[in-house]
């Protein structure tokens, strides 16, 4: 048990003179067990309540809605890369501006495709267009935005899927079943 040295038996310099009554020395030992118990209880409590991994924030800048088509940014065909997010974590993509060139992949495969496109394209022309479909989940969107950060793509945009593309995605999904 934790104890405090009272110095009782050693170093008592003065001898026992007769007539001088020696005060009875009480032990100064304190039983620390309850305090320690409580200490550990609190430790366990704080360990369990503490949130170790604080959430991070992902910045998302959306373009302003532009009504006039002439004010919208034009995308060069050689640099365009469109990613469509389908149901059940499926990813579809096509290069250029022709949606019929649609290819199916998944979140593992899309990274290589993005990096390949990044390598083979003039950085100034490269634009990634992300189009989540109605079945895509929030996780899919965050994941694909994350892929942009991972591949260090500077220019990307998140826009709505067009009905043509949506039906193409649906058709591909049905064919791959």
Partner 1 sequence: MPSVKIKKHAPENDMTPMVDLAFLILAFFMLATKFKPEDAADVKIPSSVSSDMVPDKDVFTVSVDKDGRAYVAMDNPEFRQVLIENLNKTRNLGLGNREMKAFIDAPSVGVPFAQLKSLLSMTPEQQKAVKQPGIPVNDSLGGELYYWVRDALVAYSGRKLNLCIKADNNTKYPAYKNVLNAFKKNDQNKFLLITAPEDAPVGTPLFVTRQKQVEKK
Q: Please work out, in degrees rounded to the nearest 5, the angle formed at the alpha carbon of residue 35 by the alpha carbons of 33 and 39.
A: 115
Residue pair 63/157 in contact by the 8 Å Cβ criterion: yes
Nearer to partner 1, 103 or 139 (CB): 139
| Options 75, 83, 84, 85; binder of partner 1; rule CB under 8 A | 85
Site for partner 1 in 36-65 (CB under 8 A): 36, 39-40, 42-43, 46-47, 49-51, 53-65
113, 121, 130, 138, 163 from 82: Cα distances, Å: 11, 14, 6, 18, 15
Minimum CB distance to partner 1, residue 174 (Å): 20
Q: Is there binding between residue 100 and partner 1 (CB under 8 A)?
A: no
Nearer to partner 1, 13 or 34 (CB): 34
Site for partner 1 in 124-163 (CB under 8 A): 132-143, 145-146, 149-152, 160
Residue 158's beta-bridge partner residues?
Answer: 130
Q: Is there binding between residue 34 and partner 1 (CB under 8 A)?
A: no
Q: Is there binding between residue 72 and partner 1 (CB under 8 A)?
A: no
Residue 82's beta-bridge partner residues?
Answer: 94, 129
Q: How many CB atoms lie within 10 A of CB 149?
A: 11
Q: How many CB atoms lie within 10 A of CB 96?
A: 14
Q: Is there binding between residue 116 and partner 1 (CB under 8 A)?
A: no
Q: Is the alpha carbon torsion for 72, 78, 83, 84 positive or negative? A: positive
Nearer to partner 1, 8 or 39 (CB): 39
- The binding site for partner 1 (CB under 8 A) comprises 1-3, 32, 35-36, 39-40, 42-43, 46-47, 49-51, 53-65, 85, 111, 115, 118, 132-143, 145-146, 149-152, 160
């Amino acid at each position: 048990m934790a104890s405090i040295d009272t110095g009782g038996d050693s170093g008592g310099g003065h001898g026992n003179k007769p007539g001088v009554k020696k005060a009875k020395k009480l032990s100064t030992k304190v039983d620390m067990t309850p305090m320690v118990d409580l200490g550990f209880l609190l430790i366990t409590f704080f360990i369990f309540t503490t949130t170790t991994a604080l959430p991070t924030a992902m910045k998302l800048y959306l373009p302003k809605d532009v009504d006039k088509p002439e004010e919208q940014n034009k995308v060069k065909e050689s640099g365009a890369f469109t990613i469509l997010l389908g149901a059940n974590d499926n990813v579809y993509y096509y290069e250029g501006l022709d949606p019929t060139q649609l290819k199916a992949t998944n979140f593992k495969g899309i990274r290589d495709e993005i990096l390949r496109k990044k390598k083979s394209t003039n950085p100034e022309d490269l634009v990634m267009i992300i189009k989540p479909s109605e079945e895509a989940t929030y996780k899919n969107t965050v994941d694909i935005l994350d892929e942009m950060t991972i591949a260090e793509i500077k220019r990307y945009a998140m826009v709505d899927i067009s009905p043509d593309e949506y039906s193409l995605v649906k058709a591909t999904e049905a064919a791959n079943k």
